[in-house]
Structures are given as structure tokens and as C-alpha cells.
Chains A and B, each alone.
Chain A
């Protein structure tokens, strides 16, 4: 039997990167998957690949849209057991000159969007007698500051920290109902979004990987490897895990991305 046989899952961010890899993996493990993404064409492509899966265009920062989409996805799947949200968007690099609109957009996509998605999914998971809420959280960009200029993402990092707290609070308040809440902390992962962000700032991804070198002991993660973290936490193998965020970073954080190596 496949690990997620019979489970109904909504993956937000399924159009590319970690979300796409997660949608594929959940599908291969027997789940029925609905795909949502800001990029309509990308969501449609993933959904088509998974055999005409339900598919939605979604701006996760829009509270009403999130509720509508989660409800529609749950109805299309005949209920909901799992939800994974992996939002990403343009990121800024500064504190002093960070425009309020940029700060608000980043915070809304990452932190508020996670909250909205959890809020919308909880009634459906309760109806199913329990389930799992998952989010890609505090990836460790902050720790790259020492290695790359100017890859320090203040708004992104602050929003990711807020996501961590949303995950823990949800676990505290809803685990007794059988609703587990967990996160995956990817190390630097070779996704379209990450590569584009680096390139926009004049950094080639291979250059970046070479620069970090020993700081990423198993090298840069592939999205498929990060998706395995979601598979674990979504599955019965993690039945006693809640309020916890799993690092999937190939040992990077064990040496603080090389900062502690000597």
C-alpha cells in the first residue's frame, strides 16, 4: 500500500518548485491531489500531469480567495485530509530602505497566507476526523548572509518566523482534535523561484553553490528531497509529531552553513 493511500490533499504552490514536487510525490503515494498556484498556467500543467487533478488560481495573500479555493478544492476531492502550503514570491534585501508595500506583500504571502490557509482548512480536517496542516517555513536564507552578498532577506525571514509561530499555535490549539500542524524547513533548494531570485541579483546558482561549498555538506537540495519531508509529516509515520518543523537541509544547519567549520 502506498503511504498516502486514499488521502485527499490540497497543495498550494503546486505550479513549481517544492510545491510541484510535493504534489507529484503525494499523487505517487496514492493521495488525491488538488493543485493551487498564483500562476494559473503552472497550476494547470501540474494538474494535467497528475491526471486532470482539480486546479485553482490562487493569491494566497487574499483571505477571501483562500477560503473560496480551499472550500472548492475540498468539495472537488470529497473532503480534505492534508494541506501543504509552499508560498514564495519576490523578496527584498534591505532594512533601511524597505518600502512598506514590499514588506506587506512579503509578509502577507508568507505569514498571513499560511494563517488564511490553515483557517480555511481546519473545518474540513475536523469534518474528516483529523488531518495534517503543513507549510514550508523558515528556510535558512538568513544564514547565508555571511556568504553571499546581498542575500539577506529581512522581510522574508521575519515572515518565516511568524509562520513558525502559526504552526506551533495551531498545534497547541488543534492537535487534540486530531489536526496535526507541522512545517518543513528546506535548506537552499534548487527551485525555479530560488534560481530566479539569485539571478535577479546577479548571482548564478552554480556560483552560489560553489561559494557555500562545505557549508552545504550534501549540496543543494532538489525539490524532490524536500517533498519527502512533507510526505513523512503528512503520513502515519509521523502520527505523534505536531508543532514541529523538520529541517531538510542535508546537514547545512548542523554547521550553520559552514560558519562553524574550522
Chain B
């Protein structure tokens, strides 16, 4: 029996995988790339702190696939971890800003999905990173949430398309994650609203689990859902939020 145990995780969850991670500035993509490497995947990362330039344009997605392929060979995992965060009062909404958010948060997913279907031969996994604010919101995060909301049907559509050949497609919805970027974002929001004290801690107090998540907690869940240990999980929205939304 001990032989069996040794075999199970002699290697990481993603041993032998070749993965493209597209990261944004919020530290989530960075954490995913690091976690995937520690789980045994070969990772090509675009964007984020250690990536190649500031990555947020839909026109660059195809080049990212090409670069990842050149670096790693044929891919079997793709993670789109890019998020553009933005607040705007409904009174100040502009269609220009909306289109900008849709281009980054939604169109990126469309282009990534299309290219992943082509790049990944046979089985594999594609995962999108979204946020709870695409499912419920506060007044000034409506446009940001709206631009992530398309990931629901986009994920399901790709999942249904890829199911027969074992290409699984899922979305991770994150709650309050402790990263410098999201702390700064909360502080900015707190200042705008004239709230004194630690704006981030005020938000965290509402989370049923009683703390913010770490970027690696998003990354760990993403790794398991992308791994062969989730062979029948597809078309699913995984809430990694300490119970923020539903508990």
C-alpha cells in the first residue's frame, strides 16, 4: 500500500504539463505561474511583474500563444489570469470606458478560448480567472463586473465544445485577495468614500472565513482544477472566496 502512496504524489499535480499563463498586474497570474511550476508544469508567462511588458491587449494574445509554443512545445494548459480593475460611478459611466474594459476583460477571454481550442490537441485544460464582482456588485464596480460577466457563458460554451476530446474549461471566481494591488485599490476606494481606517480590513471583516485569501490560494485551486485529478470537472464556476458570495 505504501507503494501506491509514493506513486500518487511522487510528482506534482501538473507534472509534464506545458502551460501558458497570461498575467495582469494584480499578482494573481504571478502566483499561478509560480504554483504551476512548483506542481511540475513548464510555464510560459506573459505580463505581470516578471513577464514580458504590460500585457492587456487582445491583439497580443496570438503572439503569446506563439511565444509559449516556441518556448515549451505544444501546450496542454492555458490560464488567462488577466484582470483590469476599474471603478466608476454610474453617473460618470462612459461607453468608451466600458468598451475598454470589455476589450481587456471579455474580448481577451474570447480570443484566448478560440486559440486554446486550436493550440491544445486532445485533452487539456483552459481556465479563466474572474471575480465575485462579476456575479454581485457594488455601485461603482458595475462596469468592471459587467466586463467579467461574459466569462460565464464563454466558459460553458468552450466546455461543451471541448468535452468530447477531454479539453476541460472552467472559471475561478476570486473573492477578497490580499495583494498590494488590491490593498491599494481598497485604500483608494476608502479615501474616495471618506472612510477612515484600514479600508481593506473593513472589507475582510465581512468574509465568512474571517480573512482575506492569498494569491497562492487562488493559484492552488486553479492548479487542482486544471490537473488530471479533476477529470470530470468542466463548465464550472469555482468560487474561491472564503464564502464571501454564498455562505
Contact = CB atoms under 8 A, between A and B. Distances in A.
Contacts of B214: 240
B159 interface: yes
Given A3-B8, A28-B4, A30-B5, A240 B241 contact: yes
Contact of A251 (B1, B5, B163, B241): B163
Nearest to A235: B224
Interface SS of A by simple majority: mixed
Contacts of A181: 247
Given A28-B4, A175-B208, A240-B240, A254 B159 contact: yes
A168 B160 CA distance: 29
A168 B246 contact: yes
Given A228-B230, A255-B160, A171 B247 contact: yes
Interface stretch (B69-77, B108-116, B231-239): B231-239
B1 to A, nearest CB: 6
Nearest to A236: B220
Contact of B242 (A29, A228, A242, A255): A242
B247 A168 contact: yes
A221 B232 CA distance: 7
Nearest to B244: A243
A238 B221 contact: yes
Nearest to B224: A237
B231 A240 contact: no
A257 to B, nearest CB: 11
Contact of B229 (A30, A175, A228): A228
Contact of A241 (B8, B231, B233, B239): B239
B164 interface: yes
A237 B220 contact: yes
Given A240-B218, A241-B239, A248 B233 contact: yes
B124 interface: no
B146 interface: no
B243 A175 contact: yes
> Which interface class (under 10, 10 to 19, 20 to 34, 35 or more) fits B?
35 or more
Nearest to A184: B233
Given A3-B9, A240-B240, A176 B234 contact: no
A237 B223 contact: yes
B100 interface: no
B230 A254 contact: no
A226 interface: yes
A32 B73 CA distance: 41
Interface in B150-173: 155-157, 159-160, 163-164, 166
Nearest to A216: B163
Interface string B196-226: 0000000000001110011001101101110
A237 B221 contact: yes
Contacts of A9: none
A186 to B, nearest CB: 9
Given A241-B221, A244-B239, A172 B247 contact: yes
A232 to B, nearest CB: 5
A51 B232 contact: no
A163 to B, nearest CB: 14
Interface in A210-262: 217-218, 221-222, 225-226, 228-229, 231-232, 235-244, 246-251, 253-255, 261
A237 B220 CA distance: 5
Contacts of B238: 241, 244, 246
Interface of A: 1-3, 28-30, 51, 168, 171-172, 175-176, 180-181, 187, 217-218, 221-222, 225-226, 228-229, 231-232, 235-244, 246-251, 253-255, 261
15 contacts: A2-B5, A29-B5, A172-B243, A172-B247, A176-B208, A218-B164, A236-B220, A240-B175, A241-B242, A242-B243, A244-B239, A244-B246, A244-B247, A251-B235, A253-B235
Interface of B: 1, 4-5, 8-9, 13, 155-157, 159-160, 163-164, 166, 175, 208-210, 213-214, 217-218, 220-221, 223-225, 229-236, 238-243, 246-247
